[in-house]
Structure 1
Amino acid sequence: MRKWWPLVAVSLGTLMLLVDVTIVNVALPDMAGDLKTSFTSLQWVVDIYALTLAALLLAAGGVADLLGHRRVYLVGLVLFAVASFFSGIAPNAGLLIAARGLQGIGGAAMFATVFALLNSAYQGRDRGTAYGVWGAVGGASAAIGPIAGGLLTESLSWRWIFFVNLPISVITVALCLAVLPGGRHAAARTSLDLAGLVLFSAAAGTLTYGLIVAGEHGWTSTSAVVSFVVAVVAGVAFVLVERRVAAPMLDLGLLRNATFSGSLVAGFFLSGSAFAGLVYSSIWLQSVLGKSPIMAGVIGGLPLSVAAFVTSGVGSRFLHDKHPGRVIAGGLAFIGAGDVLQGVLLHGSAGATAPVPGLILVGIGVGMGMPVLSSAAMSAVPLQRGGMAAGSVNTARQLGMALGIAVLGSIYTARIAAYFTHHSVPRADSAAHAVAGGQGPAILSKLSGAARSGFDQALRGGSVSGLSAVMLVAGISAILAAVVVVALIRAPASEAAPAFEGMEKGGDEQQARARAAGEDRAVGEPV
């Protein structure tokens, strides 16, 4: 039993950082009321975590190569715990957003070292078993997040979704010090692409900020336009730096490989289309339909998570000999169909369970496509770039989540505003932003008589109209991405590794060959 303690230490950290991607969703209405915050602030509470994960994941792997994987994992754990504490005590939205960003930095340090720690702790069959258990933990986090968030928010306070990380962090740190092997890899890096890190972070951050501001103040507002210009300049500068630096954060030459590029496209749209819209589903369920945080977590998260978990288990048996590109594209098609079905079923009289059939289809798509994304990318690049390939896919996934929340939030608010304008709601634009931020009940409480009845009808109709538009856009995006993935990842099955082969074998052969090539780092992939 002692040999599995390193797996427990790594899995506990993974569970925390992945649960915190979704645990916030069901607490958003309570946060909005308690902190008296705006819809823009709510978006940033969710977005900043995914954004810092995306921006720092590849760089964190380079830091771990320099300083040692256990050391960086421990620093990430401590930073994550400290940030969780400050998130829990945050007196206003600004401090909460800053603390969530700090959480993302700690999460990136933990996330980037997972596979390296498992590789150093296990070999042979044990490594395959460890990967399988770790993957199951990652899959379970999708279900645990909304339900745990609902239970803690309803029984205690939204602040406890962060405080609960503190005892888990203490236990995990103690385990890491006792059971994880220390030291650095023999092939540790000697430099860090700091310029690439800064420029990529600037490009991703200003692009996300511009999208959120555009939804609030318009696409031609000065702040939005300036943000987009800075994002473009930083993006171009990042490309120029990566082409010249000796040890780039991302080897741009890999993008010439169609399979690798297709994997990045798949990762970006898979996360954005499957998960970004759930933020607005949670707001609708609680602030419009009056569901409790627990019920919002069960209705909005459990069908997707269960379907994904079952599909990934069945898929390893029936899809193992299929071309990974077709498996991934099929997953995106299911996600698109599920989102479109939700968009169709959501109408003025829709009840809380209306999205469930679509969520099940989305879960099937996630279970098909998610487990094989990194293995598809890694199989397409030189072995010594395997870690970079896996990390790039995970970066694309987190970036898809962050940008998806921003874009879909703009659509959600704009559609509600259009509905309110059509139904002559006073100050339609400001009312739409308040409703999108979960403040519908607060507006209703200030009205009475016919005014209250009229706004209640508009609130229900506008919210479901906005959510329907969000799901339709997400669904169409996933279907188009599936077409692109089929076009890009088109190597014949005889030349490609089976979709689930890397998961079954635990990656032994590839890791051994990577060590011989001078690089034994792989960045972990969540399910």
Structure 2
Amino acid sequence: MPATDSQPTSVIQRWTLAAVLAATAILMLDIAVVNTALPTLQIDLNTDLHALKWVLDAYTLALASVVLTAGSLADRYGRRKLFAVGVAVFTVSSAAAAFSGSIEFLIAARAVQGLGAALMFAVSLALLSNAFRSPAERTQAFAAYGATIGASFALGPFVGGVLTEWAGWEWVFLLNVPIGVVLLAITASKLVESSDPNPPKIDIPGQVTLVGGLFGLVYGLLNAAEDGWSAPHVIVALAAGAGLMTAFITIEATSRNPMVPLGMFRDRRFAGAQIAALAISAGLFSTFIYIMVYLQEMRGYSPIEAGLFLVPGTMFNLFCAAATAQLGKRVEPVVLIAGGLGLAAIGMVISAFTITADASWLQLQVGLVIAMIGTGLFNPAVSEAALDVPEHQAGLATGIHDTARQTGIAVGIAALGTLISSTDYVGSLQTLFLVGGAIGAVGAIAALYLFRGPRGSVPAAAPEGAAA
């Protein structure tokens, strides 16, 4: 029997928080642990770097493309129900990924995983908001939510290395199955259903053009790295992607019920936060796949050693993220956002000059640690700025913000991959870090520009946003 409001509020809150944190942990871990397992997976499935990029991009593309629609579906049909569907899809597709006999099947399973992840992620904050009603309670619940994300990213590389080396890459995905089964039981018996009495209409034209546009761009960029920019299928894919993304913007600007009310971007700080999130995802986070290949294939690190390599940076990331709670009271958010993004860019430039065929462990750490210090300062501040909207738009703002992050990773992996050369991997990796640093620097400058002056106004309803 599902939980009801007749149960003590504290009991409902505890179960809701446990379910959301467990779901968040496996979502974040699934991004971090897979990076470490990719070189081993490449050998076992007899594939290449091109296909490995799709293993990551299939997941992030699906998540980025449908997370906003997933939130609308949850508002209409019930958040607990959609959360359960997301957990079930994620769990089954994780098992399918673990038993993949080919790289093509694994990529398909990862795409389905991304759909389940979108449902889980889109509903998580709404479930917390419904269970924790007072501002003080929500602050504590959201703090635990943020800490779970940070801890999952910190532990992910090491967990992925241990599972890959001691049990096999399949266990990177099988780990999700028992957690998913327990989550389903908790969701069905302990969580309370909630929905929006006046749910927004589903923006089907916007959804279709967004999925097609992002897929076209990523497909074109990934294949440009293999077949060259002049290949006919590359030109067609990039042109179709650009055309569909233009159509998406046009639809959102004229629709009465847009999935992304463009008027929200009249708020300079909201717009600046999305550009900054896109920049750090495309410039820094999308490089981790190439770092793992370098460490394991170029330097001979084992999966565990490669996972441990990222631990110092992630620890600095966590420490600096915790410090922003006090720093945020003394400085403006733009200082942490632009400053953190600037440090991430500096760290990447340093890495470009220290990554060589025989660089020492300490030399390799310098740039990465500086970049992760910047990330620790950046993440809490940019999330706070992105969600500093009227309460009725908090869920929408969360979806837009995560779409920006996941889109940055998906497009970044594809775009930066065009710089990688199989004949000179180390040299091309240096160029990749310079370009990634430039992306971060542009994002920092854009944030400084957009955060200065009056913040503008956020429209109260979708039609106003569409009119804008």
TM-score over 0.5 for the pair = yes
Aligned mate of 1:477, from 439, 446, 453? 439
CA distance in 2, matches of 1:359, 1:303: 9
Alignment of 1:216 with 2:178, yes or no, is no
Q: Find the counterpart in structure 2 of residue 499 from structure 1.
A: none
1:200-279 to 2 correspondences below 5 Å: 200-279=210-289
Q: Find the counterpart in structure 1 of residue 5 from structure 2.
A: none
Say if 1:247 and 1:339 are closer, same or farther in 2 by CA, change over 3 A. same
Unaligned runs of 5+ in 2: 1-9, 463-468
CA distance in 1, matches of 2:363, 2:74: 46
Residues 415-436 of structure 1 show CA distances to partners (whole Å, capped at 9, x for unaligned) of x43xxxxxxxxxxxxxxxxxxx
1:135 Cα deviation after fit: 0.7
Residues 73-131 of structure 1 show CA distances to partners (whole Å, capped at 9, x for unaligned) of 11000000011011001110110000000000000000011111001111322221111
1:237 Cα deviation after fit: 1.5
1:382 Cα deviation after fit: 5.1
Letter of the aligned partner of 1:391 in structure 2? G
Alignment of 1:164 with 2:172, yes or no, is no
**Conservation of the 8 A alpha-carbon contact between 1:70 and 1:183:** yes
1:79-228 to 2 correspondences below 5 Å: 79-124=89-134, 125-189=136-200, 191-228=201-238
CA distance in 2, matches of 1:163, 1:25: 16
RMSD of equivalent CA atoms = 1.9
1:154 Cα deviation after fit: 0.3
Q: Find the counterpart in structure 1 of residue 384 from structure 2.
A: 375
Alignment of 1:410 with 2:418, yes or no, is yes
Aligned mate of 1:294, from 284, 290, 304? 304
Say if 1:205 and 1:339 are closer, same or farther in 2 by CA, change over 3 A. same
1:19-98 to 2 correspondences below 5 Å: 19-98=29-108
CA distance in 1, matches of 2:390, 2:17: 28
Q: Find the counterpart in structure 1 of residue 343 from structure 2.
A: 334
Say if 1:221 and 1:352 are closer, same or farther in 2 by CA, change over 3 A. farther
Alignment of 1:392 with 2:400, yes or no, is yes
Residues 201-253 of structure 1 show CA distances to partners (whole Å, capped at 9, x for unaligned) of 11011100100000000011111100011112211221222123221111122
SS class of match (1:188): coil
**Conservation of the 8 A alpha-carbon contact between 1:57 and 1:395:** yes
Letter of the aligned partner of 2:364 in structure 1? P
Q: Find the counterpart in structure 2 of residue 305 from structure 1.
A: 314
Residues 110-162 of structure 1 show CA distances to partners (whole Å, capped at 9, x for unaligned) of 00111110011113222211111111000011112211111110001101100
Which structure has the bigger radius of gyration? Answer: 1
**Conservation of the 8 A alpha-carbon contact between 1:49 and 1:101:** yes
1:311-460 to 2 correspondences below 5 Å: 311-379=320-388, 381=389, 383-413=391-421, 416-417=422-423
CA distance in 1, matches of 2:387, 2:96: 38
SS class of match (1:317): helix
**Conservation of the 8 A alpha-carbon contact between 1:22 and 1:142:** yes
1:383 Cα deviation after fit: 4.8
CA distance in 2, matches of 1:316, 1:143: 19
CA distance in 2, matches of 1:518, 1:248: 10
> Bigger shift: 117-126 or 335-344?
117-126
Residues 302-327 of structure 1 show CA distances to partners (whole Å, capped at 9, x for unaligned) of 12211111001111112224222222
Unaligned runs of 5+ in 1: 418-461, 497-513, 520-527
**Conservation of the 8 A alpha-carbon contact between 2:93 and 2:110:** yes
Q: TM-score, normalised by structure 2?
A: 0.92
1:518 Cα deviation after fit: 9.0
State the identity %.
Answer: 34
Q: TM-score, normalised by structure 1?
A: 0.82
CA distance in 2, matches of 1:263, 1:276: 18
1:281 Cα deviation after fit: 0.8
CA distance in 1, matches of 2:418, 2:152: 28
Letter of the aligned partner of 2:410 in structure 1? A
SS class of match (1:186): coil
**Conservation of the 8 A alpha-carbon contact between 1:340 and 1:472:** yes
CA distance in 1, matches of 2:390, 2:452: 18
**Conservation of the 8 A alpha-carbon contact between 2:324 and 2:380:** no
Residues 366-389 of structure 1 show CA distances to partners (whole Å, capped at 9, x for unaligned) of 11111122331333x555433222
**Conservation of the 8 A alpha-carbon contact between 1:303 and 1:363:** no
1:347 Cα deviation after fit: 2.3
SS class of match (1:63): helix
Q: Find the counterpart in structure 2 of residue 502 from structure 1.
A: none
**Conservation of the 8 A alpha-carbon contact between 2:125 and 2:395:** no
CA distance in 2, matches of 1:318, 1:253: 31
Residues 247-298 of structure 1 show CA distances to partners (whole Å, capped at 9, x for unaligned) of 1111122233322221111010112222111111111111121111011011
**Conservation of the 8 A alpha-carbon contact between 1:43 and 1:405:** yes
